[in-house]
């Protein structure tokens, strides 16, 4: 695991500065996963790769879910011929609100959609 900041190590009695980019001092730079070091956070390369993978997979999953939800057809039954005939009769008698409520009850449409349907008959 790499530590991002420079550290001082004692090797064979002499003090030397080493960085995480120096591969020969790799063992001296190992530390515990996610162990805080002052203002920096030591994290292994594999943990960083795994975290990036998890975040990327989550983002892709959300995009796919959003695409599926926008393409999913609504499972509402089509208005039957009898329903259309009844709604037309009610509309002819001036009972528009009753026709809207009939269409809503039979199809599960919203009030707005049922009103639009009755107006267009």
Residue in the structure block whose two tokens are 């020969």:
24
Mark out the alpha helices in the chain (DSSP H runs).
45-71, 81-92, 96-107, 111-119
Mean pLDDT of 6-10: 44
Task: Give domain limits for the chain.
Answer: 7-71, 81-119
Is pTM beyond 0.75? Reply is: no
Residue in the structure block whose two tokens are 């809503």:
104
* Digit-coded pLDDT (tens) for 56-70: 999 999 999 988 887
* Angle 17-43-52 from CA coordinates, rounded to 5°: 135
Contact (CB, 8 A) for 90 and 76: no
* Digit-coded pLDDT (tens) for 82-118: 999 999 999 999 999 999 999 999 888 889 989 999 9
Residue in 37, 59, 60, 34 with CA at minimum distance from that of residue 46: 34
């Amino acid at each position: 695991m790499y530590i991002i900041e420079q550290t001082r190590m004692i090797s064979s009695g002499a003090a030397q500065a080493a960085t995480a980019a120096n591969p020969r001092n790799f063992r001296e730079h190992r530390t515990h996963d996610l162990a805080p070091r002052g203002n920096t956070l030591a994290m292994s390369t594999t943990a960083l790769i795994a975290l990036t993978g998890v975040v990327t997979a989550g983002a892709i999953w959300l995009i796919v879910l959003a695409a599926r939800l926008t393409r999913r057809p609504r499972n509402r039954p089509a208005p039957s011929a009898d329903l259309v005939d009844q709604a037309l009769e009610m509309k002819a008698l001036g009972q528009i609100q009753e026709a809207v409520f009939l269409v809503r009850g039979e199809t599960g449409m919203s009030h707005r959609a049922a009103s639009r349907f009755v107006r267009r008959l």
